[in-house]
């Protein structure tokens, strides 16, 4: 956050003598002055959401500049509101989520950080374009934004150009122009004892790296090997452009102590017949307490509630008795088997 704001303030601070009011900000309907104020408004709004732990809506306040404030004053306000958001991100516990509408009505501190950085990078670009100033955002910051809140966007050859294209501000060879867009915060699903946290490509990349905890505190110290393998496969789907944010891996987090117990998720999007395959893996210390069964019921119920989904399928080795018992307790039925594995299925029981 500090880096993005620092680059914005450095660039805009050198051009405060220009006509911000009379210059349109890139492709926006706003002037450069209005866009600068908008940056500050978003930064303080995000800080307010996190600080207030707002669960259901926006904090009801609005920022405005004092009458007579100049362009240099607007830059000062951007610097200050950026510092406030950075402080809110640093001091907000990992598990806290606050209201944001897109698309699942909440975001965690990483989500708000990515949204704040996106606002700064993109609107600095708009203002720079309007004033005729060269600007290129740091590629690391662009990767940070893309991997956290644009999980549906396939990476391109250069992250800055990809971010501009994904937000309707530029072209990317081989891809159609973008005319409508939204970023995408991760989905979370609550059960009695757990929170199932949707894994972003950023977290998947970290989890797939041996020795990295992926921002979670794991029961027993580290994720199971199956979780790392699954995270690697998910990140490959993201790189290939076939990843869909909801049909992803979820980390199972115990709410009483914020310990990560394992992972569960879908191998891919539902097929043409409305079938989607699910898999799961728990750390050894979490087994035998019903956590997998609880999470499997919740995630399968969520999947079956989505349009066009008619069955959740799981394939398990014949000799994996504990996993087979989990499926049975969760409400799955064995529907096929061969010499190596048994196929279980939970179907849509709504009579459609």
Opening angle at CA 96, ends 37 and 269, nearest 5: 95
C-alpha to C-alpha distance for 170 and 177, rounded to whole angstroms: 8
Question: What mean pLDDT is reported for the chain?
Answer: 96
C-alpha to C-alpha distance for 38 and 260, rounded to whole angstroms: 38
Mean pLDDT of 248-263: 98
C-alpha to C-alpha distance for 312 and 104, rounded to whole angstroms: 22
**Do 44 and 81 form a contact (C-beta atoms < 8 A)?**
yes
Secondary structure element (H or E) that encloses residue 197, with its range = strand 194-198
Confidence of residue 161 (pLDDT cuts 50, 70, 90): very high
Look at residue 349 in the predicted model and tell me its pLDDT: 56
pLDDT for residue 336 is more than 60: yes
Q: Which domains does the chain have, with CATH numbers?
A: 2-166 (1.20.120.450), 188-347 (3.40.630.30)
C-alpha to C-alpha distance for 319 and 224, rounded to whole angstroms: 20
**Do 302 and 284 form a contact (C-beta atoms < 8 A)?**
no
Look at residue 351 in the predicted model and tell me its pLDDT: 40
Task: Give percent above pLDDT 70 in the chain.
Answer: 99
Mean pLDDT of 177-186: 96
pLDDT for residue 350 is more than 60: no
Look at residue 212 in the predicted model and tell me its pLDDT: 86
DSSP conformational letter for 161 = H
Look at residue 127 in the predicted model and tell me its pLDDT: 98
Q: Quick: pLDDT tens for 40-58.
A: 999 999 999 999 999 999 9
What's the pTM? 0.95
Nearest to 118 by CA among 187, 164, 62, 80: 164
pLDDT for residue 35 is more than 50: yes
C-alpha to C-alpha distance for 174 and 294, rounded to whole angstroms: 44
C-alpha to C-alpha distance for 76 and 66, rounded to whole angstroms: 12
Helices (H), the chain: 2-13, 32-52, 71-91, 109-131, 139-149, 159-166, 201-207, 225-240, 291-304, 321-330
Q: Quick: pLDDT tens for 279-327.
A: 999 999 999 999 999 999 999 999 999 999 999 999 999 999 999 999 9
Confidence of residue 210 (pLDDT cuts 50, 70, 90): confident
């Amino acid at each position: 956050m500090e880096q993005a704001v620092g680059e914005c303030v450095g660039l805009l601070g050198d051009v405060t003598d220009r006509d911000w009011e009379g210059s349109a900000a890139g492709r926006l309907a706003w002037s450069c002055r209005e866009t600068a104020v908008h940056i500050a408004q978003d930064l303080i709004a995000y800080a307010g959401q996190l600080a207030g732990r707002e669960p259901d809506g926006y904090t009801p306040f609005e920022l405005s500049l004092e009458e007579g404030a100049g362009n240099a004053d607007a830059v000062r306000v951007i610097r200050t509101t950026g510092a406030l958001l950075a402080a809110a991100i640093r001091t907000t516990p990992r598990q806290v989520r606050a209201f944001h509408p897109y698309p699942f009505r909440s975001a965690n501190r990483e989500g708000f950080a990515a949204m704040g950085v996106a606002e700064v990078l993109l609107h600095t670009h708009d203002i720079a374009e309007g004033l005729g100033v060269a600007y290129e955002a740091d590629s690391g910051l662009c990767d940070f934004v893309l991997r956290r809140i644009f999980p549906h966007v396939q990476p391109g050859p250069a992250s800055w150009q990809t971010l501009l294209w994904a937000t309707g501000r530029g072209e990317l060879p081989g891809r159609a122009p973008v005319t409508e867009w939204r970023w995408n915060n991760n989905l979370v699903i609550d059960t009695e004892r757990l929170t199932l946290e949707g894994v972003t490509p950023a977290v998947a990349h970290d989890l797939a790296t041996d020795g990295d905890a992926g921002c979670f505190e794991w029961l027993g110290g580290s994720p199971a090997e199956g979780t790392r393998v699954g995270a690697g496969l998910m990140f490959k789907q993201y790189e290939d452009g076939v990843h869909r944010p909801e049909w992803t891996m979820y980390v199972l987090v115990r709410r009483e102590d914020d310990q990560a117990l394992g992972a569960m998720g879908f191998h891919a999007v539902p097929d043409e017949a409305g079938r989607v395959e699910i898999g799961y893996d728990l750390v050894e210390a979490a087994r035998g307490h019903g956590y997998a069964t609880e999470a499997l019921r919740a995630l399968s119920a969520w999947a079956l509630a989505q349009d066009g989904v008619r069955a959740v399928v799981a394939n398990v080795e014949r000799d994996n008795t504990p996993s087979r018992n989990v499926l049975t307790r969760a409400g799955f039925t064995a529907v096929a088997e061969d010499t190596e594995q048994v196929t279980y299925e939970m179907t849509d029981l709504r009579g459609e």
